[in-house]
Structure 1
């Protein structure tokens, strides 16, 4: 099936998902006519040889597009066609730019959301395949989501949209609780940000606990500060956490279960530092070696 076979006369333009271009394009020039709406012009990939009848279909769809604000990038949904052979979803959409200059993009993760903003699918696409996008233009494209990238059981009804995954775009960040922000000087907050930036990259759905600092107190209790790392693009909520601390020799130094009230929330694609206090009766720190240690969730 060729790309033109996906677009039909019965297609209609659905929801539009627009973002400021600075989210994706470094150093993009600002349009002087800041308040003026931009009507995007239809643009075909330079390698396409579009039959006359198909041009009519594309022009009809392009005429349905709403104007954009200056300096925006947008994905305008058209329709989804499920592949009966492998369960993939072929998502038809316009990629649009209201920038005053041409752009060419790289790898970008896209998500499909239903009418209630529930995620249906997510996948990274190489936008270089779309070619250079002229200034103030709209280019039709088919984004194919493989079956293993789809979380839903069936193709959504009306109201769905295709969007840029901004959580993925902004990179992994430090999620510092307000209590920590109040207690730590800016210099220490900056140091934590640098540590988080230098940590190994997480998997997309990985949750990881990494030791930050462990201190034995005079009362024999153990204060263990841990990085709770969330690789998901959704927040996680921790209510009960069974945790053990293992020293450099593999010896269990402390073990306890913590009830978190209020619930501890770690934002999407973020790392939150938190301190867990093990009372003396839960600590066995004799000959402990904290030159390297691990925080481990007890299964």
Structure 2
């Protein structure tokens, strides 16, 4: 007999940007909203609607994305459907949710969604009985699992940290390639060092000859950027490799905190 899934205790999870500006009163309200939602089980992902209303040119919906998985999750482009109390599809749209970031285990992430009136069947719409749900017609995602190859000797003392970082990265589908920043550090000589983890879930080896990178600070200001030529850098299927990139800058490491900086690989 299979063990019954347990409910997962949820807590409010905000992005860093919103956490810095949301008041304690607003957080209390959101915590009350979360406590009023139906519990979710282990290994479930849930979207719960707080309200839907007509905002003039568009329909606004406030929802919570809740993560019952044992590791953090994120969404990139997610198809969602608005339905009414009869189960009729009122609207459908693919949302760009990259700014929502990672949702930790047991995290409830509030988010606002906007449907343009052009994609809404207003005859079936009512702010009192509509909710947002996942598009169940989308096939289940087949995620890839990774292990390191060609691990750099100079990082051998820190391999445990790299391994934990790799295991906690958001899942990617098979057939995809991903680059994730492990660390951004400014050395005493002014060189900016970006250490990244490259993951290959394609069924054949991927050779990277050139990679464009832009470095931004916590306020999205561009610090530096460029295209790097990589020599003999290939990644086998279902493998991950460490990639280190160095920018020459005139920045003073004594005056700068790079802990909230990010690298964009495009």
TM-score, normalization by structure 2 = 0.48
Question: Which structure has the greater CA radius of gyration?
Answer: 1
Structure richer in strand, relative to its length? 2
TM-score, normalization by structure 1 = 0.43
